[in-house]
Amino acid sequence: MLVKWIRCTVVDRRGFERGQRKWAGLLGEPGFRGQGGGWSRVRPHTVHIFAFWETRAFYDSFMARSHDRLASGQSGTYGDSQVKLFEYRFDVKTGFEPRFTDADVVRVAHCKVRAERVEHYALMQEKVWNPAMAGSPGMVRGVFGEAPGNEFLVMSMWQSAAEHGKYRRERVERLLLRAQAEADIEALAGDVVVLEPSWTV
């Protein structure tokens, strides 16, 4: 499975939201699995969109055929767009599927990992972070993906911002030490995204 993560800064909120609803046209595209997104809780005007495709080939075919037609509805409504593609590596919790209807927020973490620490980092994600998140009340599901250049995406869906906040307060510092995250991670960027139900495809 291919995970596409888009982050951009919106300059025309109404126009952007109107255009975002037109992405419902993705339904019926071969290989399309689901899309959702919303507004950053901490950065005004920042939007995150997550899209899922069965394979890179299906995604490339869509980009060559239908993408520009769907995207034209949002032309001029945003800037500073960053797009990253990640190959699915494993679930965070079990049974991941690209559904957004039972979650209110998404926590996204984008890590650049030191080359010699990649295997350790992935192992810690599996053995330390995943069980901690999976055991947290309010955590719905998540996915761990990898991109060339030792870049990783950890995306977790939560029932509410309050549940995610509780997990952060009670567990994160201890887990960082246990996973030796400082030794693994060269750079880390993250955000908490409040999902916009009308954007879910």
What is the structure's pLDDT at 115? 97
Q: Distance of CA 88 to CAs 5, 50, 81, 101, 143, Å?
A: 12, 13, 22, 21, 7
pLDDT band at 148 (very low <50, low <70, confident <90, very high): very high
**167: which residues sit within 8 A by CB, 6+ positions away?**
132, 133, 136, 138, 139, 158
> Which candidate, 185, 109, 91, places its Cα nearest to that of 153?
109
**C-alpha 142: how far from its chain's center?**
9
pTM listed for this prediction: 0.95
Looking at the chain, the whole-number percentage of residues with pLDDT higher than 90 is: 94
Residue 73 CB neighbour total at 10 angstroms: 16
Q: How many residues does the chain have?
A: 201
pLDDT, tens digit, for every residue of 29-65? 999 999 999 999 999 999 999 999 999 999 999 999 9
pLDDT, tens digit, for every residue of 84-109? 999 999 999 988 999 999 999 999 99
Looking at the chain, the whole-number percentage of residues with pLDDT higher than 70 is: 100
Residue 74, domain extent? 2-199
pLDDT, tens digit, for every residue of 158-177? 999 999 999 988 888 899 99
Average pLDDT, whole number, for the chain? 96
What is the structure's pLDDT at 94? 85
CATH at residue 39: 3.30.70.100
Count of domains in the chain?
1
